[in-house]
Amino acid sequence: MTHSPTRRTLLLATGAVPLTVGCSKYGDSGDSGSSSVEASAGTELAKTSEIPVGGGKIFKDEKVVVTQPKKGEFKAFSNICTHQGCAVTSVSGGTINCPCHGSKFNITDGSVANPPAAAPLPEQRIKVSGDSIELA
């Protein structure tokens, strides 16, 4: 008597395992190259000239995104998507973008611009001194 393959066997054989492993690269889990300790206050992130007006820059190790919605106005947010915890990977078109499920957040206030995320990115504290942007 032969047995039909189970659903689990089919999922494993067709690549469901690589799919879940692939998604984890966007989050914190399983990333042996990064430290679980977040950067402390006073850590310089960038020079103001490195943050484009109308855009931003992601600081993966510090778990923060710094944006410049208007010239001379700097904002900072967590780089962890509020939908399912993936790390955001780009800032373009006025939004901070998560690759996992397509959530987008406004660079001005971290609010949701495109679901599935329902909550905004948490704001982070920064301090601008001269041309230096530091964690506060």
pTM of the full structure: 0.72
Averaged pLDDT, 14-25: 40
What is the Cα–Cα distance from 78 to 64, expressed in whole angstroms? 5
Residue 73 lies in a domain: yes
What is the CATH classification number for the domain harbouring 127? 2.102.10.10
Q: Residue 99 carries which DSSP code?
A: T
Residue 5 or 57, more confident:
57
Residue 96 lies in a domain: yes
Q: Which domain holds residue 63?
A: 52-131
Neighbours of 136 (CB within 10 A): 12
Q: What is the pLDDT of residues 68-123, one digit of tens each?
A: 999 999 999 999 999 999 999 999 999 999 999 999 999 999 999 999 999 999 99
Residue 116 lies in a domain: yes
Residue 33 lies in a domain: no
Burial label, 99 (beta-carbon count in 10 A; 0-12, 13-18, 19+): middle
What is the Cα–Cα distance from 24 to 20, expressed in whole angstroms? 7
Vertex 124 angle, CA 38 and 76, to 5°? 110
Residue 18 lies in a domain: no
- The model's confidence at residue 125, banded by pLDDT at 50, 70 and 90, is very high
Counted domains in the chain: 1
